[in-house]
Amino acid sequence: MSKTSIFSNETAQSTVQIIRETMSVSLEDGVPMVSFATNKGKGSGAQVMPVDDFREYVEALQHFAIVGVERVEAADLSPADTVRQTIRMDEESVISFRVRSGKGAKPAKVSSDDFSDVVELLTGTVDAVEAAGNSLSGE
């Protein structure tokens, strides 16, 4: 009996692998920005924010990695406050959160099994992201 794999051209990647492949720091209108994706495919997009907001954003994620996630309503706030307001876990144990609210804002989605590893990875990048932002802005 001959078989053909339906998913032969797709490889499953963990959120940590996707972040490692996509994280970058760039200068947009004179502002150092950090960008990374947590998912690939339709309905997903990069998480983009000013480097100056990145440390607080990661600290907000650290908080939820430690105390857990509950459902709260979204609002138009700083990236860290937006995480605090939008983070939730669905029935499939996927944690989602946003950097910003509004039209076109895509959530980051991370399995609860990977969440602590993702937060640990992002925590390890804070100094490098800030240094890259400072070098781009001439500080």
Please write the tens of the pLDDT for every residue from 86-112: 899 999 999 999 888 777 788 899 999
Distance, in Å, from the CA atom of 65 to the CA atom of 88, rounded to the nearest integer, reads: 12
In this model, does residue 25 exceed pLDDT 90?
A: yes
**Domain definitions of the chain by residue range:** 15-129
Return the higher-pLDDT residue of 31 and 41: 31
Looking at the chain, the whole-number percentage of residues with pLDDT higher than 70 is 86
Distance, in Å, from the CA atom of 45 to the CA atom of 67, rounded to the nearest integer, reads: 27
pTM beyond cutoff 0.75: no
Say how far residue 54 (Cα) sits from the centre of its chain.
Answer: 10
Please write the tens of the pLDDT for every residue from 40-49: 877 778 899 9
